[in-house]
Amino acid sequence: MVKHSKMVKKYDDVATASGVKERLESALGPVPFVKVREVREQDRVSDRPAVDFLVDVRAAGAPITFLIEVKSQAQPRLVRMAAAELQYLVKTVPNSYGILMAPYFSPASFEICREAGIGCVDFSGNARLSFKNVFIEKTGLPNLFPEERPLRSLFSPKTSRGLRVLFSGPSETWHVERIAALAGISLGLASKVKQMLLAQDWIKEKGRGFVLANPSGLLEEWSKSYSYKRNRAASYYGGLSENDLERALKEEAEKTSFRYGLALFSGARKVAPFVRFPRFFAYVEKSIEGTANALSLKKVDSGANVTLLEPYDEGVLLGLQDINGVKIVSDIQLYLDLKSYGGRGEDAARAVYEQRIRPRW
């Protein structure tokens, strides 16, 4: 039977026989010759087939049985396993069609169901059904059960350090111990990162290790959750040219032993020149105010041409690049910052992605 104890309370209210029937009728509403007759809850121990619900349906007067499997989450890895199980069960029940139901299906999970020939209907209003001469597809509706998505913690400061390490060697085979050591996180947290990535099909296991399987999907999801405004920033006016500012910042960092990295447009012009922007951006590990004083920058409310940023986490400076003696943040950090900056930042992010990031995949 459906294990309600593992579901969020709000989801409990709809993951019932009546809720399943209501959602199916809503999805099938545009097709007048398909009628949902009866929904029977199965006992997964004693009943066969071992699904959550059997649904008797009439399509143009002919009977068909829906085999319904309900999941409290629809992470791609779980969807792939459930779809494979439904594929098998459909073969054992004549004139049947398998359907997965969950609070919300992401586009990736929808695609897995499509490839498996399995229907999917979520309780947020999205659906894809293809049986007999019926085809229904309704997507794009928002997730009504956001608490069901575990991704927020994956992109938190410490856990995202593990992602930065992975992207530093996108074609390598990784192990939890190495991720933990390079990211400066515990073995337990590194293992948690691995499990979350596996659940989304963003990595796949290879021998005793694992490799990135869908780096573009992972980076896209990360960019949706990220904003460069997480970092503390201060704006200044300086009389030096951009090249002179680079040299002055480098000399100050070497003199007082702190890490820095050119960021946003200033970093992009070094690695993938595309968009010019009349402002200098850099991350500094020491106090912003101290650095500004050392560079003779003046605090201004308008007309600023320099922005110094204090990293929200030390992971921001992981993977610093050295180009002609000047430090630039990693390509991944450039991409995330520029994409969240908006406007011309998105154009610059695209250039970094096309010229620097994607070729390594």
Q: What is the pLDDT of residues 143-168, one digit of tens each?
A: 888 754 456 788 999 999 999 999 99
At 30 the pLDDT is 86
Cα gap 358→361, rounded to integer Å: 5
The one-letter amino acid code at 256 reads: T
User: Mean pLDDT of all residues in the chain?
Assistant: 90
At 43 the pLDDT is 72
What residue ranges of the chain have pLDDT lower than 50?
1-9, 148-149
At 10 the pLDDT is 54
Q: And the tokens for 26? A: 């809503």
Residue in 136, 138, 75 with CA at minimum distance from that of residue 103: 75
Give all domains of the chain, ordered by start, each with its CATH number: 4-146 (3.40.1350), 149-225 (1.10.10.10), 228-360 (3.30.460.40)
At 8 the pLDDT is 41
